[in-house]
Amino acid sequence: MQICRSTQDMRDWRKDAGRVALVPTMGALHEGHLSLVAHARDWLDDHGGGRVVTSIFVNPTQFGPTEDLAKYPRDEDGDIALLRRAGCDAVFLPQVADIYRPGAQTHVEVAQLGGMLMGQLRPGHFRGVATVVTKLFNIVQPQAAAFGEKDYQQLTLIRQMVADLDIPVQILPVPTMREADGLAMSSRNRRLTPQDRAAASVLARGLDGAQAQIAAGDELTSVQDALRAMLASEPRADIQSIDIRDAADLSPVTAITRPVVILLAVRFGDVLLIDQRVAHP
């Protein structure tokens, strides 16, 4: 597996790499990321073959001033070992100074999708995501890139961005991998205390219940009330937001007449967890 530690290394490797599928990550890799790598590989196999590149970059511009960038888990050696085992062809590990050079003036903002929901809870977050993903696309020049459905708003926003800016990258959505108790896999789970880790399974139970209610034809308010009550029954859960939105464009809904996505953001201690579920009436 090729290790590229700078933009120049990556560009040099890219020249002869042929078709490429990118898996953008912030490291602290787990089974969920390996599933992104596997989906990227499958896509390449279906398109005549090629190379999978995983980027590992803890992007400072998507963290707010009150969010602890320094506490984000990092495990470069462990990540490289996992990617080797997963059959990844190259890993891109740039330094912050290589991605954000002094004097830069340009950023990418997906106005509406970036300002709603998590964008209100974390101002500036999606501007940081859209900017770094655009830069990664420009450096790696992939034909496809895999993103997890767990970060549903991020996935929706990236799709909008590539359409708006005519970026020739196919976006591959990848279903969420879950622990045995239903907790969505996330690098942040490593920072949960054992008590919070056990309590966090309430998210998946809440989503299961809401999905079943929607499938049974229950009304929006009754789904929302039951979900809030279920989450509130866990004293360690500090609910930040519960939203039910149109699954296609995240616009607000007043009744459930087409597929919706249920979006949760809940704190356990100082760890903010998000999860989602698409539900069909």
x/- binding map, residues 130-169, to ligand PAF, per CB under 6 A? --xx-----------------x--x---------------
Within positions 212 to 251, which residues make up the interface with ligand PAF, using CB under 6 A?
none
Tell me how far, at minimum, the Cβ of 16 lies from ligand PAF, in Å: 25
Between CA 157 and CA 173 the distance in angstroms is 12
Catalytic residue positions, numbered? 33
Side-chain half-sphere of 230: how many Cα atoms within 13 Å?
Answer: 19
The dihedral sign for the CA sequence 203, 209, 211, 213: negative
| Closest distance of CB 174 from ligand PAF, Å | 11
Q: Which CB sits closer to ligand PAF, 106 or 254?
A: 106
For residue 80, the one-letter residue type is I
The reply to whether 275 sits near ligand PAF by the rule CB under 6 A is: no
Q: How many helices (H) and strands (E) does the chain have?
A: 11, 9
Pairing of strands 20-25, 144-148: parallel
Q: Quick one: which segment of 66-74, 95-103, 129-137, 219-227 binds ligand PAF (CB under 6 A)?
A: 129-137
Residues 32-91 that bind ligand PAF (CB under 6 A): 59, 62
Instruction: Specify the residue, 3 or 58, whose C-beta has the smaller distance to ligand PAF.
Output: 58
Sheet strand arrangement including 238-246 = 238-246, 260-268, 271-279
Task: At 52, list the tokens.
Answer: 């999978």
Q: Which is nearer to ligand PAF, 58 or 253 (CB)?
A: 58
CA 201 – CA 199 distance, rounded (Å): 5
**Within 7-36, which residues bind ligand PAF (CB under 6 A)?**
24-26
CB atoms near residue 8 (< 10 Å): 12
Which residues of this chain interact with ligand PAF, rule CB under 6 A?
Answer: 24-26, 59, 62, 129, 132-133, 151, 154
